[in-house]
Structure 1
Amino acid sequence: MPRSPHDSGTTCRLHVSDEVRALAPGFGYLAVEAHGLTNGPSDEAGAALLDEAARRLAARLDGRAPQDDPHVAAWRAAYTAFGSKPSRTRNSAEALARRALADGGLPRINRLVDIYNAVSVAYLVPVGGEDLDRIQGGMRLVRATGDEPFVTAAGGAEAVEHPDAGEVVWCDDEGVTCRRWNWRQGVRTRLTEDSVSALFLLERMAPMTLDELAAAGAELARELRAACPDARIETGDIWTP
């Protein structure tokens, strides 16, 4: 059953603002929390997951471009609604799908990121991973004032940017963790090879069904357990407005 916007079913407190709910009433998310993870460099198992995900994506699209998929089209409409140009700043699932279909294929980042990227591509759903030990307070999905700090990388060094006023962002008590909903993750909370605890967020727009979202979350949990047998994985309830 859907829960309140203050209750994700996991220990990290999550909140979706009224402004975001009004903007996209078809939005929903599933949180998967993991503790006792063992991350590391990309390996053959992760590469196989990414390659299989690309094959599943190609079968799903059957020759269509990613933006012609109804779920991606719904995300594009949501981006347009808060003033972003979806062809310039694509949601994370569409961006990964385009890379999966290109000659270079999907990037290899690290074991944990490769796992959630594979799920994102296979189900064409935005998935993000945050280092729980670096999150300050709870996570909030809000429309930005424009003053919030966002730590990113520029020219190999950390730099601080600010979102546009009205932009939909995920943030914690220290600042923005992901800009334009799920377009670009900040460096402060991203998963590194040293990460041991993580919060994964799978985000959907109607017409993606809640059953499809649950299936994506279940596959993510299975792959995390396979890669990290000693980890404790908790899957929350699906949240919808």
Structure 2
Amino acid sequence: MTTAPPLTLTVSDEVRALAPSFTHLAVEARGLVNGPSDERSSALLDKAERRLAARLAGRAPHEDEHVAAWRAAYSAFGAKPSRTRNSAEALARRALGDGGLPRINLLVDAYNAISVAYLVPVGGEDADRIEGGMRLVRAVGDEPFETAAGGEPAIEQPEPGEVVWRDDAGVTCRRWNWRQGVRTRLTEESGSAVFLLERLDPMPLAELTAAANELADLVERLSPGAEVTVRAPA
């Protein structure tokens, strides 16, 4: 059996200049068997909500130093962080609300649990749907972003200068880690995935590594037999 090469992940100089402390780790998984949310993934989300409450100790998510750093990064490329919150802050607000965290599918539940527990943005992409490598860049403004509006497929374009993850076919995630596109999202049929965990100062790199290792362990437990690797950027 031929093993697929690691997915190429690069960060542009323009983004590094915008946020010099930015670091990401990737958890790559192949041979996955995903499925609908169940009692295992639901328990992970419930535990994550408790860990978040302990971490915040009564504070609002935006009062956390790492979340505040992401708000500053969003402002630096022209986004309004109180309107377009990074994924970790948005999930934390849902976790603290009356409805709690959503149940999506096993893999999405796993990375959402890690995101909330560590207050770190985490995204998951179907690696088989990525065309070429993934690149974190500042958008020109004409790149296609596949989304949905009113329940129907739609194409949007990012704002010029907006930080986006993209591949050869277009944008996979807008505003750094705000909204994921439908083309590469993880579904119950996904057999390969790449999870991106993203940090800024003051979050210690050791804590990012702990989050990545915990996510890798969760994926292995939810999908026994999968080949899972934690990889630092090249």
TM bucket, shorter chain: over 0.9
Q: Which residue of 2 aligns with 1:203?
A: 198
Aligned counterpart for 2:118 among listed residues 114, 123, 127 = 123
Q: Deviations over 1:148-196 (max 9, x none)?
A: 0000011111100000000000000000000000000000000000000
Q: Which residue of 2 aligns with 1:95?
A: 90
Structure 1 residue 147 corresponds to structure 2 residue 142 = yes
Aligned counterpart for 2:28 among listed residues 21, 30, 33 = 33
- Contact 1:110–1:192 under 8 Å retained in 2: yes
Q: Deviations over 1:37-84 (max 9, x none)?
A: 111111000000000000000000000000000000000000000000
Q: Which residue of 2 aligns with 1:112?
A: 107
**CA 1:206 to 1:238, structure 2 compared with 1: closer, same or farther past 3 Å?**
farther
Q: Secondary structure at the match of 1:33?
A: strand
Structure 1 residue 24 corresponds to structure 2 residue 56 = no
Alpha-carbon separation, structure 2, partners of 1:207 and 1:26: 9
C-alpha displacement at 1:237, in angstroms?
A: 2.0
Structure 1 residue 188 corresponds to structure 2 residue 186 = no
Q: Which residue of 2 aligns with 1:214?
A: 209
Structure 1, unpaired ranges of 5+: 1-9
Q: Which residue of 2 aligns with 1:223?
A: 218
- Contact 1:214–1:238 under 8 Å retained in 2: no
Alpha-carbon separation, structure 1, partners of 2:199 and 2:68: 12
Over the residues paired in the alignment, what is the CA RMSD in angstroms? 0.8
Structure 2, unpaired ranges of 5+: none
- Contact 2:9–2:233 under 8 Å retained in 1: no
Alpha-carbon separation, structure 1, partners of 2:13 and 2:21: 13
Q: Secondary structure at the match of 1:88?
A: coil
AA partner of residue 223 (structure 2): C
Name the % identity.
73
Give the TM-score normalised by the residue count of structure 1.
Answer: 0.94
Superposition pairs for residues 57-96 of structure 1, below 5 Å? 57-96=52-91
The aligned length equals: 230
C-alpha displacement at 1:238, in angstroms?
A: 5.4
Q: Which residue of 2 aligns with 1:234?
A: 229
Alpha-carbon separation, structure 1, partners of 2:232 and 2:182: 28
Aligned counterpart for 1:177 among listed residues 165, 172, 196 = 172
- Contact 1:210–1:238 under 8 Å retained in 2: no
AA partner of residue 212 (structure 2): G
